[in-house]
Amino acid sequence: MTKDILKTTSKYLSFILRHQPQSIGLTLDENGWAEIDALIAKAAIELTPALIEEVVSSNDKKRFALSEDGVRVRANQGHSVKVDLQLAPQVPPAVLFHGTASQTLEAIRSQGLLKGSRQHVHLSKDPDTARRVGQRHGKPVVLRVSSGEMHAAGEAFYLSENGVWLCEHVSPSYLASDLD
């Protein structure tokens, strides 16, 4: 399988499984799972069970999961469609990180980190991962999140299957940047 095919398929699966299943007439269950056979039948690109399995297993960010029986697939986080990933609240590390682009810093300093159209704000356990995320959008800025303090104040945190920390909102008072 070429890297181009895997990348194209991964982007397509992200779009369908996280944001627009209805664009191909696909229905996700309440936990975000799609039947692989239905996905293949409705997809606008050529998919096979083997290709989907390869994308799931080779994706460096572990964006997807296969069901234990291997007949369903879902995105691990990042949904803008309503799904219940059945994640239990977790105690986060004292500090987590968020990567963004420098042009968003002013808005973040006034509003904090907002989930926008997604179900959660995404946080990383290390600054290098956050920097890579921020680079996708421009000159990267890494924000330090006082997640331990947030948790002590009652904010719920969740850990997705692929190691991304999730929460509803991060107030500006819990943020510091590498520019501070």
The CATH number of 89-177 is 3.20.170.30
Question: CA 35, CA 18: separation in Å to the nearest integer?
Answer: 14
Q: What is the DSSP letter of 43?
A: -
The structural domains of the chain, with segments of one domain joined by +, span 3-75, 89-177
The yes-or-no answer to whether 3-75 and 89-177 have a common fold is no
The CATH number of 3-75 is 1.10.10.970
Per-residue pLDDT tens for 102-139? 999 999 999 999 998 888 999 999 999 999 989 988 89
pLDDT recorded at residue 178: 64
Q: Residue holding tokens 């234990």?
A: 68
In 3D, which of 168, 161, 125, 162 has the Cα closest to residue 145?
Answer: 125
pLDDT recorded at residue 61: 82
Looking at 1-10, 139-148, 167-176, which range is the least confident one? 1-10
Query: Is residue 53 exposed (0-12), middle (13-18) or buried (19+ Cβ within 10 Å)?
Result: middle
Tokens standing for residue 50: 């083997």
Contact between 143 and 106 under an 8 Å Cβ cutoff? The reply is no
